[in-house]
Amino acid sequence: MPQQPTDQNTRVVVALIGVAMVGFIAVTYPTLIPALTVALGAFMVLAILLKL
């Protein structure tokens, strides 16, 4: 079983991909901005609780 990469660059790249996706969705569907805000807040709470 391959090991999970613990490289800091991997986390940065995943975060940038997520930001790009949220930005694209916000530009494409502006009515979803409140839902994206709630989802981002929930994700940040989970990230803090799980110490990702």
Q: Is 13 within a domain?
A: yes
Q: Residue 5's pLDDT is what?
A: 56
Total residue count of the chain as it appears in this document: 52
Cα 2 to the chain's mean position, in Å? 24
Q: Is 26 within a domain?
A: yes
Q: Say which residue, 9 or 4, is predicted with more confidence.
A: 9
- Please give the mean pLDDT across all residues of the chain: 81
Q: Is 2 within a domain?
A: no
pTM of the model: 0.60
Q: Which domain holds residue 38?
A: 8-50
Q: Residue 10's pLDDT is what?
A: 81
Q: Is 42 within a domain?
A: yes
Q: Residue 28's pLDDT is what?
A: 92
Find all residues with CB under 8 Å of 23, minimum gap 6, and list them.
Answer: none
Express each pLDDT in 22-41 by its tens digit: 889 889 999 988 988 888 88
